[in-house]
Amino acid sequence: MENKRRKFIKNGVVVLCSTPLLGLLNNCSENKNQIFTICQNECIGCADCVDVCLDDAIILPKKSSYNIDIFSCDICGDCQKVCEEDAIKLSLSKYTIFEENCVGCGDCIDVCVNEGNAISYERDYYFVRGRCKANRCNHECISACTEDAITIIDNKAVIDMEKCNRCGDCVPVCPQEAINPAKVMLDDILCTQCGECFKVCEFDAIEKNQPEDYEDPYIDSALCSLCGDCEPICPQNSISGTFHIASIDIKKCTSCGSCETVCDYNAISKI
Protein backbone atom coordinates (compact mmCIF):
# COMPACT_ATOMS: atom_id res chain seq x y z
CA MET A 1 0.00 0.00 0.00
CA GLU A 2 2.83 2.42 0.89
CA ASN A 3 4.64 1.90 -2.43
CA LYS A 4 1.43 2.46 -4.37
CA ARG A 5 0.76 5.57 -2.33
CA ARG A 6 4.16 7.08 -2.96
CA LYS A 7 4.02 6.31 -6.66
CA PHE A 8 0.67 8.10 -6.94
CA ILE A 9 1.89 11.11 -4.97
CA LYS A 10 5.09 11.30 -6.99
CA ASN A 11 3.18 11.38 -10.26
CA GLY A 12 0.80 14.01 -8.92
CA VAL A 13 3.62 16.29 -7.82
CA VAL A 14 5.46 15.97 -11.14
CA VAL A 15 2.38 17.19 -12.97
CA LEU A 16 1.65 20.07 -10.64
CA CYS A 17 5.16 21.48 -10.00
CA SER A 18 6.10 24.75 -11.63
CA THR A 19 8.91 24.94 -14.19
CA PRO A 20 11.65 26.22 -11.80
CA LEU A 21 11.27 23.08 -9.70
CA LEU A 22 11.62 20.59 -12.53
CA GLY A 23 15.38 20.39 -12.11
CA LEU A 24 14.91 19.12 -8.56
CA LEU A 25 12.44 16.34 -9.33
CA ASN A 26 14.96 13.59 -10.04
CA ASN A 27 16.95 13.95 -6.84
CA CYS A 28 17.02 15.86 -3.58
CA SER A 29 18.87 19.13 -3.19
CA GLU A 30 22.50 18.67 -2.14
CA ASN A 31 23.13 22.01 -0.51
CA LYS A 32 26.02 21.15 1.87
CA ASN A 33 25.17 24.07 4.15
CA GLN A 34 21.97 22.50 5.43
CA ILE A 35 21.73 19.33 7.43
CA PHE A 36 18.19 18.41 6.36
CA THR A 37 16.61 18.70 2.95
CA ILE A 38 13.11 18.15 1.57
CA CYS A 39 12.98 15.91 -1.47
CA GLN A 40 10.69 17.59 -3.96
CA ASN A 41 9.43 14.43 -5.63
CA GLU A 42 8.31 12.91 -2.31
CA CYS A 43 6.84 15.90 -0.48
CA ILE A 44 3.07 16.22 -0.73
CA GLY A 45 2.64 19.30 1.43
CA CYS A 46 0.76 17.58 4.25
CA ALA A 47 2.14 20.12 6.79
CA ASP A 48 3.01 17.50 9.43
CA CYS A 49 6.61 18.71 9.48
CA VAL A 50 5.48 22.33 9.75
CA ASP A 51 3.48 21.53 12.87
CA VAL A 52 6.42 19.99 14.74
CA CYS A 53 9.07 22.56 13.76
CA LEU A 54 9.53 24.83 16.77
CA ASP A 55 11.86 27.15 14.86
CA ASP A 56 9.46 27.99 12.03
CA ALA A 57 12.14 26.84 9.62
CA ILE A 58 9.84 25.02 7.22
CA ILE A 59 8.13 27.06 4.54
CA LEU A 60 4.85 25.81 3.09
CA PRO A 61 2.70 28.29 1.14
CA LYS A 62 -0.46 26.32 1.82
CA LYS A 63 -1.38 22.84 2.98
CA SER A 64 -2.19 20.51 0.09
CA SER A 65 -5.77 19.36 -0.34
CA TYR A 66 -8.07 17.06 -2.26
CA ASN A 67 -11.32 18.37 -3.66
CA ILE A 68 -14.52 16.84 -5.05
CA ASP A 69 -16.11 18.33 -8.14
CA ILE A 70 -19.75 18.40 -7.04
CA PHE A 71 -20.97 18.80 -10.62
CA SER A 72 -19.47 15.52 -11.88
CA CYS A 73 -19.76 13.49 -8.65
CA ASP A 74 -22.77 11.16 -8.63
CA ILE A 75 -22.34 10.28 -4.93
CA CYS A 76 -21.68 6.59 -5.53
CA GLY A 77 -19.71 6.30 -2.27
CA ASP A 78 -16.72 4.40 -3.74
CA CYS A 79 -14.23 6.98 -2.49
CA GLN A 80 -15.73 6.97 0.99
CA LYS A 81 -15.24 3.20 1.24
CA VAL A 82 -11.46 3.41 0.76
CA CYS A 83 -10.87 6.45 2.97
CA GLU A 84 -9.37 5.16 6.23
CA GLU A 85 -9.44 8.63 7.80
CA ASP A 86 -13.20 9.17 7.38
CA ALA A 87 -12.31 12.43 5.63
CA ILE A 88 -14.85 12.16 2.81
CA LYS A 89 -18.30 13.42 3.63
CA LEU A 90 -21.19 12.28 1.46
CA SER A 91 -24.92 12.53 1.92
CA LEU A 92 -25.78 9.20 0.34
CA SER A 93 -29.08 8.87 -1.49
CA LYS A 94 -31.66 6.21 -0.69
CA TYR A 95 -32.87 3.93 -3.47
CA THR A 96 -36.28 2.32 -3.75
CA ILE A 97 -37.84 0.07 -6.38
CA PHE A 98 -40.86 1.49 -8.20
CA GLU A 99 -42.83 -1.71 -8.77
CA GLU A 100 -45.19 -0.25 -11.36
CA ASN A 101 -42.28 0.18 -13.79
CA CYS A 102 -40.17 -2.83 -12.84
CA VAL A 103 -40.22 -5.72 -15.34
CA GLY A 104 -37.97 -7.98 -13.29
CA CYS A 105 -35.18 -8.04 -15.89
CA GLY A 106 -32.57 -8.67 -13.18
CA ASP A 107 -29.98 -6.13 -14.36
CA CYS A 108 -30.04 -4.47 -10.96
CA ILE A 109 -29.46 -7.81 -9.26
CA ASP A 110 -26.40 -8.48 -11.40
CA VAL A 111 -24.65 -5.22 -10.49
CA CYS A 112 -25.63 -5.39 -6.83
CA VAL A 113 -24.01 -8.79 -6.26
CA ASN A 114 -20.57 -7.20 -5.96
CA GLU A 115 -21.84 -4.32 -3.84
CA GLY A 116 -24.24 -4.96 -0.98
CA ASN A 117 -25.97 -7.95 -2.61
CA ALA A 118 -29.14 -6.19 -1.47
CA ILE A 119 -31.43 -6.95 -4.44
CA SER A 120 -32.99 -10.34 -5.08
CA TYR A 121 -35.99 -11.88 -6.79
CA GLU A 122 -39.23 -11.99 -4.88
CA ARG A 123 -40.72 -13.69 -7.95
CA ASP A 124 -38.35 -14.79 -10.72
CA TYR A 125 -40.89 -15.72 -13.40
CA TYR A 126 -43.53 -14.17 -15.66
CA PHE A 127 -47.07 -15.50 -15.65
CA VAL A 128 -50.32 -14.85 -17.50
CA ARG A 129 -53.42 -14.16 -15.47
CA GLY A 130 -56.83 -15.66 -16.12
CA ARG A 131 -58.13 -12.51 -17.74
CA CYS A 132 -56.16 -13.40 -20.88
CA LYS A 133 -58.47 -14.33 -23.77
CA ALA A 134 -56.39 -15.01 -26.85
CA ASN A 135 -59.41 -14.84 -29.15
CA ARG A 136 -60.03 -11.23 -28.14
CA CYS A 137 -56.67 -9.79 -29.19
CA ASN A 138 -54.18 -9.86 -32.02
CA HIS A 139 -51.59 -11.79 -30.01
CA GLU A 140 -49.55 -8.65 -29.43
CA CYS A 141 -47.49 -10.42 -26.77
CA ILE A 142 -46.27 -13.02 -29.27
CA SER A 143 -45.28 -10.31 -31.74
CA ALA A 144 -43.34 -8.43 -29.05
CA CYS A 145 -41.41 -11.48 -27.81
CA THR A 146 -38.06 -11.85 -29.59
CA GLU A 147 -37.30 -15.15 -27.87
CA ASP A 148 -40.37 -17.09 -29.08
CA ALA A 149 -41.20 -17.73 -25.45
CA ILE A 150 -44.97 -17.18 -25.73
CA THR A 151 -47.46 -19.59 -27.23
CA ILE A 152 -51.26 -19.90 -27.17
CA ILE A 153 -52.71 -22.95 -25.41
CA ASP A 154 -56.46 -23.37 -24.83
CA ASN A 155 -57.19 -19.75 -25.74
CA LYS A 156 -54.62 -18.40 -23.28
CA ALA A 157 -51.04 -17.18 -23.64
CA VAL A 158 -48.39 -19.31 -21.93
CA ILE A 159 -44.84 -18.13 -21.20
CA ASP A 160 -41.92 -20.57 -21.38
CA MET A 161 -39.51 -19.27 -18.72
CA GLU A 162 -36.64 -21.33 -20.12
CA LYS A 163 -36.80 -19.10 -23.19
CA CYS A 164 -37.99 -15.87 -21.58
CA ASN A 165 -35.22 -13.30 -20.99
CA ARG A 166 -37.41 -11.07 -18.82
CA CYS A 167 -37.13 -8.15 -21.24
CA GLY A 168 -40.63 -6.97 -20.35
CA ASP A 169 -41.63 -6.11 -23.91
CA CYS A 170 -44.77 -8.23 -23.68
CA VAL A 171 -46.14 -6.51 -20.58
CA PRO A 172 -47.18 -3.09 -21.94
CA VAL A 173 -48.52 -4.37 -25.27
CA CYS A 174 -51.09 -6.73 -23.75
CA PRO A 175 -54.49 -5.04 -24.27
CA GLN A 176 -55.96 -7.06 -21.40
CA GLU A 177 -53.12 -6.27 -18.97
CA ALA A 178 -52.89 -9.97 -18.28
CA ILE A 179 -49.12 -10.45 -17.99
CA ASN A 180 -47.44 -10.15 -14.61
CA PRO A 181 -43.67 -9.71 -14.79
CA ALA A 182 -41.01 -10.99 -12.43
CA LYS A 183 -40.56 -8.95 -9.27
CA VAL A 184 -37.45 -7.88 -7.36
CA MET A 185 -37.02 -6.54 -3.86
CA LEU A 186 -34.36 -4.39 -2.21
CA ASP A 187 -33.09 -4.90 1.33
CA ASP A 188 -32.52 -1.44 2.83
CA ILE A 189 -30.23 -2.85 5.51
CA LEU A 190 -27.85 -4.46 3.01
CA CYS A 191 -27.99 -1.57 0.52
CA THR A 192 -24.75 0.44 0.39
CA GLN A 193 -26.34 3.35 -1.53
CA CYS A 194 -23.78 2.88 -4.31
CA GLY A 195 -26.32 3.73 -7.02
CA GLU A 196 -25.21 1.02 -9.47
CA CYS A 197 -28.77 -0.31 -9.73
CA PHE A 198 -30.05 3.17 -10.58
CA LYS A 199 -27.53 3.50 -13.41
CA VAL A 200 -28.41 0.23 -15.17
CA CYS A 201 -32.20 0.33 -14.90
CA GLU A 202 -33.70 1.09 -18.32
CA PHE A 203 -37.29 1.21 -17.11
CA ASP A 204 -37.17 4.09 -14.59
CA ALA A 205 -38.10 1.54 -11.95
CA ILE A 206 -35.59 2.69 -9.33
CA GLU A 207 -36.07 5.97 -7.52
CA LYS A 208 -33.20 7.99 -6.06
CA ASN A 209 -34.10 10.11 -3.05
CA GLN A 210 -31.71 12.49 -1.35
CA PRO A 211 -31.81 12.70 2.45
CA GLU A 212 -33.46 15.72 4.06
CA ASP A 213 -30.13 16.87 5.50
CA TYR A 214 -28.36 16.61 2.14
CA GLU A 215 -25.20 18.66 1.60
CA ASP A 216 -22.74 18.74 -1.27
CA PRO A 217 -19.94 16.13 -1.09
CA TYR A 218 -16.63 17.39 0.28
CA ILE A 219 -13.32 16.24 1.72
CA ASP A 220 -12.45 17.36 5.23
CA SER A 221 -8.89 18.63 4.85
CA ALA A 222 -8.36 18.41 8.60
CA LEU A 223 -8.86 14.63 8.47
CA CYS A 224 -7.42 13.90 5.03
CA SER A 225 -4.00 12.22 5.15
CA LEU A 226 -3.30 12.94 1.45
CA CYS A 227 -2.80 9.23 0.80
CA GLY A 228 -4.38 9.54 -2.64
CA ASP A 229 -6.33 6.27 -2.45
CA CYS A 230 -9.64 7.98 -3.27
CA GLU A 231 -8.51 9.67 -6.50
CA PRO A 232 -7.98 6.66 -8.81
CA ILE A 233 -11.05 4.78 -7.57
CA CYS A 234 -13.55 7.53 -8.49
CA PRO A 235 -15.42 6.37 -11.64
CA GLN A 236 -16.37 9.95 -12.51
CA ASN A 237 -12.84 11.39 -12.04
CA SER A 238 -14.42 13.90 -9.67
CA ILE A 239 -11.54 13.98 -7.19
CA SER A 240 -8.40 16.03 -7.77
CA GLY A 241 -5.53 17.27 -5.65
CA THR A 242 -3.95 20.69 -5.21
CA PHE A 243 -0.36 20.11 -4.10
CA HIS A 244 2.01 22.55 -2.40
CA ILE A 245 5.63 21.58 -1.69
CA ALA A 246 7.52 22.55 1.46
CA SER A 247 11.08 23.86 1.74
CA ILE A 248 13.49 24.45 4.64
CA ASP A 249 14.88 27.82 5.64
CA ILE A 250 18.44 26.86 6.59
CA LYS A 251 18.93 30.13 8.47
CA LYS A 252 16.25 29.11 10.95
CA CYS A 253 16.80 25.34 11.03
CA THR A 254 18.49 24.07 14.21
CA SER A 255 18.86 20.51 12.89
CA CYS A 256 16.69 19.03 15.63
CA GLY A 257 15.43 16.28 13.33
CA SER A 258 11.79 16.49 14.41
CA CYS A 259 10.62 17.09 10.85
CA GLU A 260 12.37 13.96 9.57
CA THR A 261 10.85 11.84 12.33
CA VAL A 262 7.26 12.93 11.70
CA CYS A 263 7.31 12.64 7.87
CA ASP A 264 5.54 9.45 6.73
CA TYR A 265 6.58 9.91 3.08
CA ASN A 266 10.39 9.80 3.41
CA ALA A 267 10.48 13.29 1.94
CA ILE A 268 12.94 14.68 4.50
CA SER A 269 16.48 13.37 4.79
CA LYS A 270 19.94 14.34 5.94
CA ILE A 271 22.47 15.49 3.42
In terms of C-beta density within 10 A (0-12 exposed, 13-18 middle, 19 or more buried), how is residue 120 classed?
middle
Task: Confirm if 82 and 233 have CB atoms less than 8 A apart.
Answer: yes
pLDDT at 77: 87
Instruction: Look at residue 110 in the predicted model and tell me its pLDDT.
Output: 96
Mean pLDDT by 10 residues, the chain (271 residues): 43 36 40 71 91 93 93 89 94 91 95 93 95 95 96 96 95 95 95 90 92 90 91 93 91 90 90 74
Alpha-carbon span 244 to 60, nearest angstrom: 7
Amino acid 19: pLDDT: 32
At 192, the amino acid letter reads T
Which among 121, 116, 122 is positioned nearest to 193, based on CA atoms?
116
CA distance 38 to 260: 9
> What local confidence, expressed as pLDDT, does residue 32 receive?
44
Whole-Å CA distances, 38 to 6, 45, 58, 212: 15, 11, 9, 47
The pLDDT of residue 26: 39
pTM, to two decimals: 0.60
- Kindly tell me the sign of the dihedral angle through the C-alpha atoms of 190, 93, 72, 69: negative
> What per-residue confidence (pLDDT) applies to 3?
43
Burial of residue 184, with CB atoms counted within 10 A of its CB: 0-12 exposed, 13-18 middle, 19 or more buried: buried
Q: What is the pLDDT of residue 167?
A: 93
Ordered structural domains, the chain, with CATH: 2-64+243-270 (3.30.70.20), 91-209 (3.30.70.20)
Query: What pLDDT was estimated at residue 141?
Result: 97
**pLDDT value, residue 76:** 84
Residue-level pLDDT at 8 = 43
